A = this chain, B = another copy of it.
Amino acid sequence: MPRVSGKTDKDQLLALLGAAIRARRKVMDLSQEALADQAGIDRSHMGKIERGERNVTLLNVAKLAHALSCKPSDLLVDAGF
Contact = CB atoms under 8 A, between A and B. Distances in A.
A1 B57 contact: no
Interface residues of A, number: 28
Contacts of A62: 1, 4, 13, 81
A71 interface: yes
A63 interface: yes
Contact of A66 (B3, B65, B71, B73): B3
Nearest to A76: B73
Nearest to A68: B1
B66 A72 contact: no
B2 A58 contact: no
Contact of A81 (B2, B3, B69, B72): B72
